[in-house]
Amino acid sequence: MEKISAIADIREIPGDDIPADSWDWLLRAAILFGLAVIAYASLCGGIFSPVFNKVSASRLAKILLRPSLMWGAMGVVFLFFRTFLWFRYRPIPAATFGKAPFLTVIIPAFNEGPMVEKTIDSVAAAVYPRDRLEIFVVDDGSKDDTWMHIQHAAMRHPGLVTTVRFRKNRGKRSALEEGFRKAKGEIAVTIDSDSVITPSTLLAMAGPFRDDRVGAVAGKVAVYNREQGVIPKMLHVKYMLSFDFLRAVQSTYSTVYCCPGALAAYRMAAVRDVLGEWIEQSFLGVRCTYGEDRSLTNYILSRGYDTVYQRSAVVYTIVPRTYSKLTKMFLRWDRSYVREELRLVRIAWRRKPGARLITLWDLAIKNMRYPIGYATLALLVMLSVSDPTTILRLLFAIGLMALFNMFYYLRSERSWDFLYGMLYAYFSFFALFWVFPWAVLTVRSRSWMTR
């Protein structure tokens, strides 16, 4: 687990609805213009026209190119549709202080050290009725001084914090299960022990549960240690796009695919219904360990509940600062992605007609990018042997798409950090291309790799 020597300055990130000021309208116009440029480039060949002309002379290249063009066209259409849904997204009003439901906050911790105190303190400092709040902290067999810090925090908040200590490490699912089984609240909020929430987060997370159809809520995750290196800065931009764009879009059809472990809320009636299956989940004959957040989201969706995103609920979490720890995190995520995407295909067929159609369309386009993307990349590498400018065209296209994506980021956060988002596009292309294929080949692995 990444540690930091001091608390990073937490920048306020817009959580409530983004005002329709002149800047916002300018970004909307830039996004729509960018979409038009992408559509034109896709239809007319754009910078790859010379490449397409060379491909026409090779039968094998033609076979590889045709599905790429079809997938690209479908992707452009879907990007238009996603953008339309994104413009329509609005956060759900927070719960009122006087009518807030009983809430249980569960914090699983393992070898977290002093950071867990900051997590507990941030929850205790949140604006929420004390007679309707309990904090459950589970030390999952830590080998460092985590338990001492949990006890210190509990003494500062008597009557509010309940602590449990496992003698040996059982895994994050077991720690969460302990909290779920003992929770008294109607709603359970899970928060990672390397994260801190803003004061308004708990009321914001409780708000969507006024709708009986809502079974789970995803909060907004930002980077806590973003000032501690290039990788955290790049990941901050990635997280903003992942939450304020992708999950915001998914929320408009009430099918958020993953309510993140860093900050998620669940209706306890729904959790109790699936708890046994979730704990005993296996894949290809192997007991599942990581990916507990997406797995639980899928189980709740499978029971017919809706899952939504709440932009006004914000958590700041520590992210890896080194390449080695970053790739270990992505390997865990991608292995659970493979498993849970297969489950989501089956679950999507049981969603409402509109949500079903959008989810299946999204899954098809998103997952076709792997075989088609790698085949197209291989084709471009082969063509670059005879024409090195092909590589330059590819690099230019990556930068152009990254720049376009930054318009989405700038609507969420007006910061020069968008430049790190463009850097991440190249970093991901050159340094992380191997992660997903390796995750597929090692999908049965149970190792957390950082425990």
DSSP notation for 18-51: PP--HHHHHHHHHHHHHHHHHHHHHHH-GGGHHH
| 243 secondary structure, DSSP code | I
Least confident of 79-83, 314-318, 424-428, 442-446: 442-446
Least confident of 109-113, 360-364, 409-413: 409-413
Instruction: Write down the pLDDT at residue 29.
Output: 84
Dig out the tokens for 82 from the structure: 């996603």
Q: Read off the pLDDT of each residue in 241-258 and give the average, rounded to a whole number.
A: 96
The pLDDT of residue 384 is above 80:
no
Instruction: Write down the pLDDT at residue 132.
Output: 96
Model confidence at 31, pLDDT cuts 50, 70, 90, reads confident
Residue 293's SS3 state is: helix
More confident residue, 83 or 393: 83
Say which residue the tokens 């009725």 belong to. 129
What percent of the chain clears pLDDT 70, i.e. is strictly above it?
A: 88
The pLDDT of residue 7 is above 50:
no
Condensed to tens digits (0 to 9), the pLDDT of residues 401-414 reads 888 888 889 888 88
Instruction: Write down the pLDDT at residue 16.
Output: 46
Instruction: Write down the pLDDT at residue 281.
Output: 94
Least confident of 76-85, 183-192, 331-340: 76-85
Instruction: Write down the pLDDT at residue 19.
Output: 54
The pLDDT of residue 448 is above 70:
no
Least confident of 68-72, 148-152, 264-268, 389-393: 68-72
Letter string b/e over residues 108-128, b meaning 16 or more CB atoms within 10 A of that residue's CB: bbbbbbebbbbbbebbbebeb
Residues in the chain: 451
Instruction: Write down the pLDDT at residue 404.
Output: 85
Report the DSSP beta bridge partners of residue 162.
136
Model confidence at 32, pLDDT cuts 50, 70, 90, reads confident
Model confidence at 387, pLDDT cuts 50, 70, 90, reads confident
The pLDDT of residue 93 is above 80:
yes
Q: Read off the pLDDT of each residue in 180-191 and give the average, rounded to a whole number.
A: 96
Model confidence at 37, pLDDT cuts 50, 70, 90, reads confident
Condensed to tens digits (0 to 9), the pLDDT of residues 253-309 reads 999 999 999 999 999 999 999 999 999 998 988 888 889 999 999 999 999 999 999
| 13 secondary structure, DSSP code | -
Model confidence at 422, pLDDT cuts 50, 70, 90, reads very high
Instruction: Write down the pLDDT at residue 231.
Output: 97
Give the global pTM.
Answer: 0.89
Instruction: Write down the pLDDT at residue 55.
Output: 57
Least confident of 59-73, 276-290, 413-427: 59-73
The pLDDT of residue 2 is above 50:
no
Instruction: Write down the pLDDT at residue 15.
Output: 44
Domain parsing of the chain, residue ranges: 1-101+186-451
263: left (phi > 0), else alpha (psi -120 to 50), else beta?
Answer: beta
Instruction: Write down the pLDDT at residue 188.
Output: 98
Condensed to tens digits (0 to 9), the pLDDT of residues 10-27 reads 555 544 455 556 777 787
Q: Read off the pLDDT of each residue in 165-174 and give the average, rounded to a whole number.
A: 93
Q: Read off the pLDDT of each residue in 375-387 and give the average, rounded to a whole number.
A: 74
The pLDDT of residue 416 is above 80:
yes
What percent of the chain clears pLDDT 90, i.e. is strictly above it?
A: 65
Instruction: Write down the pLDDT at residue 1.
Output: 44
Model confidence at 200, pLDDT cuts 50, 70, 90, reads very high
* Closest-CA residue to 74 (of 373, 354, 362, 402): 362
Listed in sequence order, the residues at least 6 apart from 134 whose beta carbon sits closer than 8 Å to its beta carbon are 103, 104, 105, 160, 162, 183, 184, 185
Give the ranges where 291-417 is alpha helix by DSSP (H).
Answer: 292-302, 323-348, 353-386, 389-412
The pLDDT of residue 351 is above 90:
yes
Condensed to tens digits (0 to 9), the pLDDT of residues 116-131 reads 999 999 999 999 999 9
